[in-house]
């Protein structure tokens, strides 16, 4: 299936949760915030949300800024 991840197309090989994807990318789940189809998902729910075809996922974190 294909989703949009941070504005770009991303192919997924099988059914996975948001938590799986985050770990797969080498990210620490505690340091990111996720928006799944415009809804905010907090860390506790990462492993409960299964990704589907055409989902829109934004994974964000804090960076330096003024």
Kindly list the residues in this chain that would bind another protein in the complex (CB under 8 A): 6-7, 25-28, 31-33, 35, 38, 40, 42-43, 58-66
Residue environment code for 17-32, b if the CB has 16+ CB neighbours within 10 A, otherwise e? ebbbbbeeeeeeeeeb
Nearest approach, Cβ of residue 52 and another protein (Å): 21
| Residue with Cβ nearer another protein (7 or 14) | 7
What CA–CA distances, in Å, run from 6 to 30, 66? 18, 23
Closest distance of CB 1 from another protein, Å: 19
DSSP element (H, E) containing 41? strand 39-41
- Nearest distance from residue 61's CB to another protein, in Å? 5
């Amino acid at each position: 299936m294909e989703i949009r991840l941070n504005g770009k197309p991303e192919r997924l090989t099988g059914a996975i949760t948001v938590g799986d994807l985050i770990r797969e990318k080498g990210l620490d789940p505690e340091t990111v915030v996720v928006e799944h189809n415009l809804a905010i998902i907090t860390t506790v729910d990462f492993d409960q949300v299964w990704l589907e075809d055409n989902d829109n996922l934004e994974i964000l974190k804090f960076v330096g800024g003024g």
